[in-house]
Each structure stands twice: as C-alpha cells, then as structure tokens.
A = this chain, B = another copy of it.
C-alpha cells in the first residue's frame, strides 16, 4: 500500500520511470499509465469510452483469431515485438480471406520495464495498426514481478470481415492446384537469432515482418479463386505445407530450386545446420490457386513490395495425405517434414 502515487501521481518521466506492480493494480497508477502511454498511441473513440469492451459493427461472416507474442529480444533488425503483434494477427485474418478491422491488445508487463521501452513498443504497434488499416479498440494490462515476462508479452486478437466469396481452407484444394510462395524465406528467424546471440554479420539480415493484407485482398478482389492461404511463421514453409496437405487429404510436390532464399540467409543456415524451410517468417505466405489462375495471381502479388518476389514452387497431387516431397536441382527428391522439436525458441 506504500506507493509513490498515493494522492496524485507525479507526471511520468520516460528518462527515469519504470513499470511498477501498482501499474497493474486497477487503480490510479494504472489509469495514469493508460492515459499517458496507451490511449494517445491507439487514439480512437472506442478506447476513449474506457469501457470493459468495444462495441463494433460486424455484419455477416467474420474471422476471429489470436496470437501471443513472446519474442526475445524485444527489438531486432527490421522489426520488434510491437510491430509483430499487429502484423502477425492481421496476417492470420488475411489467411482466413478476411479484411482485418479491429484488434484487442493484452499486455503482460514485467515490473522494472523502462517506460521508454514500453512506449517504443506501443508506438510500434500504433504505427503498424495504421499501416494495416486496423484499430486497436480494447485492451488489458497486467504487471508481473521482476524476472518474469522478459519485459513484455503481448497478446492480440483480431476480427475482420470475410471478403472471400468461397471458404479459404485446405478442404477446397484440388489435385493439380498450384502453390504460390510470396517471397524469400528465413529472414525473420535469422534476424532474431543474430540479435539474440549478438552475432556480427557482414551484412545485417533484417526480419521480413510485414503485413500481407494488401496483396491477399487484391487476389480476392480481382476474382482469383483462392483455395487456401497459410502464413509461414513457426515451423516455416515445411510445417505449413505438411499441415495444409494433411488437412486437404493430398500430397504436394515442390521444386527446391524455385524457393527463394537470400544468399546470406542460406549461408547463415548452413553454418548453424538449419533448414531454411523450417525457419520462421513473419511476412510470407503461400496461396493455393487453380492452375489457370497462376499467371494472373503471380502478377497481382508482384505489384506489392511485400510479395514482389512471388513465385510458383509446386503443386498438389493425389497421394498420401500430408506427404510433401521436394525435388532438388539434380532431380533427387526428399521428403519434407514438419519441424521436429524447437529449432529456435521464442521467435514470435
């Protein structure tokens, strides 16, 4: 009950202040932190109401998704936990064939987190929300003791209006359907790993973390019959393909030579014995489309910077459900399996 904030809280000072247990107490200190850091950043009429939740209009079919973000370190080349917490969740909505609209944000803060760090994370989220065209309309804040929570864990949940005219899901995949990959693989995982281990690389490898909403909506709006979408986060392309193929009851064949991996990423993975097909991405997805749509879908994707490297990498065939094989440059073929174990913990 002893507290620096007994009658009136002194103004928060970014140079000195840190998160205290009292900031999670539901009282005056929490109100101050919300007013000072969160509401100005996420400024909108829903948060201004200070209610237990937000009331929004959501006619018809809606997609609903959630992700928690525990990436370590909080900041890494090309992105940070706040940006990821928005892009990761809007991307999941896009994968459902939906236009992301509203997000919730739940923060678990570690006592002692510098206020300046918190503000940087919150500002990143706000900027990412603007970029993705979503509003953060409701939230929650908890504080846990020093040594827990690595500074901050963030959960976002999101809702969005389904704009795809047909369900976007693995069961709609037909034998012969083509697999489009939206760009090069592995940069997010490598960027986090180098930041965590403080590895010095000749060239900095930046995370691919980005919203993929625009190209996905463009595919749908321009009438491509998108059978299925899947982002390539934990477990990478390999796990995503195996999962989708399992759900579709089909096998898949990909051409390894057509899968773009930057040379520096490839060298880094070789050095550490990682398979780029298993490394996590935060701005990459696969789109499954009918053969006759491949050329047009690829053209649409290439219009957007986030998917300008889009390329067809293979197709689905009748066969054992979930069997994914990759042919190499010399024509040999290997079975691609989902990630076993934890290749790189705390990547997202």
B340 touches A5 (CB 8 A): yes
Residues of B near A53 (CB, < 8 A) are 63-65, 92-93, 95-96, 98, 158
Q: Taking A5-B340, A92-B52 as contacts, is the C-beta distance between A104 and B27 under 8 angstroms?
A: no
A67 CA to B142 CA, complexed, in Å: 9
State the copy count for this chain.
2
A126-152 vs B, CB cutoff 8 Å, 1 = contact: the mask equals 000000000001111011110111100
Size of interface on A: residues with Cβ below 8 Å to B: 94
A204 interfacial contact with B, CB 8 Å: no
A343 interfacial contact with B, CB 8 Å: yes
B342 touches A20 (CB 8 A): yes
Min Cβ gap A101→B in Å is 10
Within 8 A of B (CB), among A26-80: 26-31, 49-70
A305 interfacial contact with B, CB 8 Å: no
A113 interfacial contact with B, CB 8 Å: no
B64 touches A137 (CB 8 A): yes
A307-348 vs B, CB cutoff 8 Å, 1 = contact: the mask equals 000000000000000000000000000000111111101101
Extra contacts besides A5-B341, A23-B342, A147-B147 (7): CB < 8 Å:
A28-B340, A29-B341, A30-B234, A51-B95, A53-B63, A55-B63, A55-B64
